[in-house]
Structure 1
Amino acid sequence: MVQTVTLFDRLVLALAKLVGLAVLAGVLSGIVALLYRWYTRDRIQRGLPVLVGLGGVAVSLNTMTALGQVIAPTTGGTNPLSPETALFNIAAVVVASLVAAGAVDVGDRFGNDLFAATGSTSVEGEVSRVVEAVGRVIAVDLPEEIDDIVGYDPVAAETKEQLAGRTFLFPKRLTVADLEDRLRTRIKGDFGVGHVDVDLADDGTVEYLAIGARVAGIGPTLPPETAAVAVQADPAFAASSGDVVQVWRPAPFERVTTAEVRGIAGDTVTLAVDAADTPKLDAETEYRLITLPVESRTDREFASLLRAAEETMSVVEVETGSPLVGQPIGSLDVAVIAIRPADGGIEALPNRNHVLAVEDAVYAVAKPERLRKLEAAAKGADPAATRVEAADTSDDD
């Protein structure tokens, strides 16, 4: 007995296939969006997930077409060249495209929540709060007041407002040091902050937070009592930044001052001169520059290296009652480049066995958080909390 397939049965079967293909495209597209969010922490463009979803639909349609070519002659299956099959394929591609495009948002949102539970991200939304409540993550709340790091350019007020009171999630079973490092990395990467000084308690509470930034430019590299001036000049052909030059006025021909070239753009030269000599220069005169013999500029090299590094330099004076009194320099976890005893001149690169005394001035290079602790210890403020631990040479490397 041959069973007759009615038009209604064919429509139901086609609709079921259409729904299955749409679900397949949505699942593939959502998985791609989820994996991209989890791996890069960014939102993916719609094109790639939709293309992957349509690729799965194309494979399924090709498979059904290939089977139809075998089955149709023997069982009366669907003819792959019929108008009905072509119409079904077009409808499947259109519906799958729409579903795949919508699945990108779903996959990205789910990936964002998944990353909040297993990685580190700011807390926004109900799902993240529920995860925190069941104890699967550590929540770190930033204070409302954020300080500036001494010796660094201040961060914009808008950035501080965005950070104030913000909450971040991190996975559990992290040490305090690891949690501090991850928090620094998040603040630097997400908010464009150059330097972060943070202290956390054992329970993850922020006890101290300060941020700083070093903007590009000449200002931070100028020595004290020095100014940068742009003038019209005719520099020597081989002159470049860092060369010391004499500045001469053409009429009458006389020497105005000695300066350092900081930049050349056509006939405009930026000079670093003594602040007292800046009134001698004007924008209307075209000066002549005579390059002086090259000299070793150790101070310039040190300033350039220090500017590019995360460390900075500070001078700390040991006060009465400080726990540093009687400690050798080698016990500090900072790089000591000079000592100025109360009864003598500056001693560069002192011996590690040199014992600190009251009123000794310590010239130290380290990261801001270590310098802050050194300054607190030098003043004798809460020695138990601000003690300077023994040097970790592997960390300094």
Structure 2
Amino acid sequence: MIGVALAEVAVNAARILGPAALSGATAGGVAVGYRWYARERLPARLALLVGLSAVAVWLNTLVALRQYIDPGTDPFDASAALVTVTTFVVAGVAAQGGRHLGDRIARESTVLAGSRSIEGEVSPFVQAVGRVIAVELPATIDDVEGYDPVREELRESLAGTTMLFPRGLTVTELRERLVTRLKEDYDVSQVDVDLSADGGVGYLALGRRAAGLGPTLPPGHVAVALRADPAPEASPGDAVQLWTDDPPRRVATGELRGVTDGVATVAIEEEDAAIDRDRRYRLVTRSPDQRPDREFATVLRAADETTGSSTVAADSALVGREVRAVGVSVAAIRTTDGDLEALPSPSRSLAAGETIHAIGRPEALRRLESRASAEAERS
């Protein structure tokens, strides 16, 4: 009798410990994956639910097979019910143990947890905590030099705002998404931002480019609307002459910008803007003349790049460096003698007191100014 009792106890223990081990292993595996994905510990209730769910599936399958194989099995047997309840209790405890063990394994593994040495040396991903990356904008938002400032109301509404982005982004991807959101959602034309490895914003500047013809007009030119009869093949961008019929006389020379219902918009020089708007003119299309300065100014005003000037300080790190080390396109250098050297050679050395006229994005020009400044170099 004793042997039979011991055998029955061993069988019941196996029936309890087996599902408990299954519960602990399931909860531990989920804890490892949760730590790797969310960078935090698996909640206790979720671990309990996962572990007991695995046990429930196992017991339901086992009972169904046992009733199929042995139709005489009584599902309401008191001893079987006691074993089942005990199994769920032990499985719940095992699930919590598996949760702690799995989370510890994930934290101690450099591959799964992402230790500081891995992230600092080879991982370009943002060190996010949680399911999303929270980017908080600084309380002070500057203006991008060379662009119209944004509205003060917009600046105040964005100061201190927190924006959420999905995890798994590199610093470059996060910066691109932040810039795109600011441009599309807040009608901003230029964004200059510095992001750290944890998604913090160290510097933010915004700029707005005025819409319409203004940004594309060369210096010293205005756009006027007049009654005109342009040539049928004339199109915006063509160089045209304004002529009167009585008497035949050329009034001005400009660039056609648009034609609507007999009204033409022409960009002309400021001194020619005093024309009779009630008079009808005839537009004569000219062959295109080469005006690199006008084309360059028009293209630059419409692009993301802008121009900037930085003077090389006496103890700046740029002294003695070549032009190619500046990091932006150098259009000209004004020497200490006052001479302007256009398009300098990349191998030309920089000297203290020289002024660098460069073309680039606002953040690149800001870095150039910081490098050229002795105070910034020391800091």
Same fold (TM over 0.5): yes
User: 2:215, 2:298 within 8 Å by CA — same for their partners in 1?
Assistant: no
Superposition map of 1:292-307 within 5 A: 292-307=286-301
Match for residue 207 of structure 1 among 202, 206, 217: 202
Matched position secondary structure for 2:331: strand
- Say which one has the larger Rg: 2
Counterpart of 2:183 in structure 1 is 188
Counterpart of 2:348 in structure 1 is 354
Matched position secondary structure for 1:239: coil
Listed as ranges, the gaps of 5+ residues in structure 2 are 1-127
The one-letter code of the counterpart of 2:342 is: A
Alpha carbons of 1:262 and 1:171: their partners in 2 closer, same or farther (altered >3 Å)? closer
The one-letter code of the counterpart of 2:306 is: T
Matched position secondary structure for 2:264: strand
Query: With structure 2 as the length reference, what TM-score do the two structures score?
Result: 0.58
Counterpart of 2:318 in structure 1 is 324
Deviation at 1:137, TM superposition (A): 5.1
Counterpart of 2:115 in structure 1 is none
Listed as ranges, the gaps of 5+ residues in structure 1 are 1-132, 386-397
Match for residue 281 of structure 1 among 272, 275, 280: 275
Superposition map of 1:144-183 within 5 A: 144-170=139-165, 176-183=171-178
Superposition map of 1:1-397 within 5 A: 138-170=133-165, 176-201=171-196, 204-278=199-273, 280-307=274-301, 309-343=303-337, 345-383=339-377
User: 2:216, 2:299 within 8 Å by CA — same for their partners in 1?
Assistant: no
CA distance in 2, matches of 1:291, 1:319: 51
Counterpart of 1:53 in structure 2 is none
Matched position secondary structure for 1:237: coil
CA distance in 2, matches of 1:317, 1:293: 42
Matched position secondary structure for 1:240: coil
Alpha carbons of 1:228 and 1:320: their partners in 2 closer, same or farther (altered >3 Å)? farther
Aligned residues: 253
CA distance in 1, matches of 2:353, 2:151: 36
Deviation at 1:281, TM superposition (A): 1.1
Deviation at 1:300, TM superposition (A): 4.3
Deviation at 1:263, TM superposition (A): 1.9
CA distance in 1, matches of 2:272, 2:205: 37
Deviation at 1:328, TM superposition (A): 0.8
CA distance in 1, matches of 2:315, 2:189: 35
CA distance in 2, matches of 1:134, 1:294: 59
| Cα root mean square deviation, aligned | 3.1
Deviation at 1:264, TM superposition (A): 1.9
- Residue by residue over 1:20-79, the C-alpha shift from the partner in whole angstroms, topping out at 9 and shown as x without a partner, is xxxxxxxxxxxxxxxxxxxxxxxxxxxxxxxxxxxxxxxxxxxxxxxxxxxxxxxxxxxx
Deviation at 1:329, TM superposition (A): 0.8
The one-letter code of the counterpart of 2:331 is: I
Deviation at 1:307, TM superposition (A): 4.6
Query: With structure 1 as the length reference, what TM-score do the two structures score?
Result: 0.55
- Identity over aligned pairs, percent: 50
User: 2:241, 2:283 within 8 Å by CA — same for their partners in 1?
Assistant: yes
